[in-house]
Every structure is written in C-alpha cells, then in structure tokens.
Amino acid sequence: MKATIWHNPRCSKSRETLALLEAAGADVTVVRYLETPPTRDELARLYARAGMSPRDGLRTAEDGAKALRDATDDAILDAMAANPILIERPLVETEKGVRLGRPPERVREILV
C-alpha cells in the first residue's frame, strides 16, 4: 500500500503517524510540507477527499490563524498556501482516502 504523509518531523503527532504507517508496512512518501508546501489546489483536493473544510485543516494555535477567524474557505486556502505553518498536520493520503492524523489512529481508516 502506498501512502503520502505531509509531515513535520518536529511534531509528535506527525512522528507517531509516520511510525504507524511504517509499522503497517506502507510504502510511504514523506513530504516535509514546511519545505515543500502543497499548492492551494492540492490542499483543496486533499480536504475534499477527506470530507473536511479548509477551516477544519487550519492550525488554529498559530498566530496567523487568528486573522482568519471570519475568513472564507478560499481565503483560508490562500493563507495556507502562502504560509504552510497554518496547515494542521499530519495529512495522510492513500488510495482509500485522506485523513488528518489527529489522533494518529485515524489514519487506520484509510489503510488497506
């Protein structure tokens, strides 16, 4: 099974999710999203596949998120693409779907 994780190695939940994927025997592509951020369109696609809104994927603890309190989904996607620290992590995609690994066990839903 192939999986892609948008990963921040400094994040414990991201590290736990990556370890879960590896333990499940997944062929994992690791994208360090702070260094190689997803495009706005890619984020929109990922959230749509996950059945979540961009607001659900917003890392609200970040200072920049406060300004997006009343923003549209389009504005949130623009902000995330411009400042990827605003993206909640980790996002995982397999052929079965996309999940936000919070908690990490949620990715089991999309493992084959």
Given the residues 3, 8, 11, 18, the one annotated as active site: 11
Domains of the chain with bracketed CATH: 2-110 (3.40.30.10)
11 is catalytic: yes
Tens of pLDDT, residues 40-86: 999 999 999 999 999 999 999 999 999 999 999 999 999 999 999 99
User: What is the pTM (predicted TM-score) of this model?
Assistant: 0.94
Q: Does residue 104 have a cis peptide bond before it, meaning omega lies within 30 degrees of 0?
A: no
Contact 64, 83 (CB under 8 A): yes
Q: Rounded to whole angstroms, what are the CA distances from 103 to 28, 39, 44?
A: 19, 24, 21
Q: Does residue 103 have a cis peptide bond before it, meaning omega lies within 30 degrees of 0?
A: yes
Q: What is the mean pLDDT of the chain?
A: 97
Contact 10, 33 (CB under 8 A): no
